[in-house]
Amino acid sequence: MAELFGQKLPRACPYGEFWEISGLPQHPSRVLSGPHAGVTLPELWSQSARQLTGDDGPHEEDFPLLLKWLECRDFVSLQVHPDDGLARQITSERRGKSEASVVVAAGPTSRVYAGLKKGVTPRQFAASLEQGRVLECLHSFTPRVGDCISIPAGTVHATGGGLIVAEVQQASDATFRLHDWGRMGLDGQPRPLQIPEALQAINWDQEPVEPTVPRRLPDSGDGVEMERLLATPHFRLDRYRVSRLWPSVHVGELTMWMVLDGEAELQTADGEFRQSLRRGSSVMIPAEARDPVWTPVQPRGSVTLLCVRIGSGES
């Protein structure tokens, strides 16, 4: 992932995730430039949430999402996340965790396990788990670059085989492991499983998951292709393929952006912000930003952007 994005790692050890825009206390993001440089996102949110989200935006007590890049050379543990209600009952988290990802790179052995096969009962699943035959119960598919995969809370899932994704999730660390492929942790010991909690968290009515079907947005036109990838109660994901100077259509609302491919310069009309952002970069644009404009950088001349917004509105 570091090689793909042209980034240097701080030290030589295994890395599986880059947390890009985070308000979680264990790894909060910091503002890199401008009048708030050095301020953490939780501090900025508590001081200036209205300026960030706008008068009509969501006004939650803390920043409700986590945006990150995730590399799965090996398969991550087979896991499930609780919904909001169960998370508050049996964990210290304020939220459950629904998440979604967009595939940035995939290898010949990449695979996504997402949901149970139709007809699998709780008793069958528990027995297969105990007997080491859990894969027989799992629905799976081969991912392709560009796929958007929605994993609602309660969905059993695992990914791996050289997959790199942009991931958006509720701001929560609530995860229950069901199976860890016989792997040892960095301390040489098996990582703990949380099977009773995981079985409680599974949504047994969840259908097998397939990539979402993008919906072309009506404002698409010459040099700009706009697609709605996903709208959930927690976040909306739109993808933009831009090959010309493009004033953002999202003015007066909080947006987060992840550069999936290419490179672009982002600047505001007042000149207070101007920066080149390449593949693997992320940026938060507050509602009060004045007329942000994206300009693809030559020689490729195009950029693919993932726009993330809080909430489930259809605009």
CATH of the domain at 125: 2.60.120.10
- pLDDT at position 315: 57
Of all residues in the chain, the percent with pLDDT exceeding 70 is 93
- In the structure, what pLDDT confidence band is assigned to residue 5 with cuts at 50, 70 and 90? low
**242, burial (CB in 10 Å: exposed 0-12, middle 13-18, buried 19+):** buried
- In the structure, what pLDDT confidence band is assigned to residue 222 with cuts at 50, 70 and 90? confident
C-alpha 146/C-alpha 165 separation (Å) is 9
Q: Higher-confidence residue: 220 or 65?
A: 65
pLDDT at 1 over 70: no
**Omega into 299 within 30° of 0, i.e. cis?**
yes
Among residues 173, 201, 229, the one where a domain terminates is 201
Report, as an integer, the average pLDDT of 78-86.
98
Q: Are residues 102 and 196 in the same domain?
A: yes
Among residues 201, 229, 245, the one where a domain terminates is 201
Q: Are residues 176 and 265 in the same domain?
A: no
Among residues 145, 167, 201, the one where a domain terminates is 201
Is there a domain that residue 36 lies in? no
Q: Report which of 247, 239, 238, 296 is spatially closest to residue 269, judged by C-alpha positions.
A: 247
pLDDT digits (tens, 9 = 90+) for 9-41: 666 555 678 899 999 998 999 998 777 889 999
Q: Are residues 6 and 138 in the same domain?
A: yes
Structure tokens at 275: 């920066």
- In the structure, what pLDDT confidence band is assigned to residue 301 with cuts at 50, 70 and 90? confident
How crowded is residue 108: how many other Cβ atoms within 10 Å of its Cβ? Answer: 7
- pLDDT at position 35: 79
Select the highest-mean-pLDDT range: 185-189, 243-247, 304-308. Answer: 304-308
- In the structure, what pLDDT confidence band is assigned to residue 218 with cuts at 50, 70 and 90? confident
C-alpha 140/C-alpha 147 separation (Å) is 14
Q: Are residues 290 and 238 in the same domain?
A: yes
- pLDDT at position 234: 96
pLDDT at 2 over 70: no
Is there a domain that residue 96 lies in? yes
Is there a domain that residue 183 lies in? yes
How many residues in total does the chain contain? Answer: 315
- pLDDT at position 12: 57
Q: Are residues 256 and 188 in the same domain?
A: no
Q: How many domains does the chain have?
A: 2
Report, as an integer, the average pLDDT of 236-261.
94
pLDDT at 74 over 70: yes
Mean pLDDT of the chain: 91
Q: Are residues 83 and 196 in the same domain?
A: yes
Q: Are residues 74 and 189 in the same domain?
A: yes
Q: Are residues 10 and 119 in the same domain?
A: yes
Q: Are residues 92 and 164 in the same domain?
A: yes
Q: Are residues 157 and 231 in the same domain?
A: no
Is there a domain that residue 208 lies in? no
- pLDDT at position 3: 64
Report, as an integer, the average pLDDT of 264-270.
91
C-alpha 228/C-alpha 212 separation (Å) is 10
pLDDT digits (tens, 9 = 90+) for 140-191: 999 999 999 999 999 999 999 999 999 999 999 999 999 998 887 778 888 8
Q: Are 114 and 13 in contact (CB under 8 A)?
A: no
Report, as an integer, the average pLDDT of 103-123.
97
Report, as an integer, the average pLDDT of 213-227.
88
Domain that holds residue 248: 215-310
- pLDDT at position 14: 57
- pLDDT at position 56: 77
**Dihedral sign, CA of 140, 144, 150, 151?**
positive
pLDDT at 52 over 70: yes
- pLDDT at position 36: 85
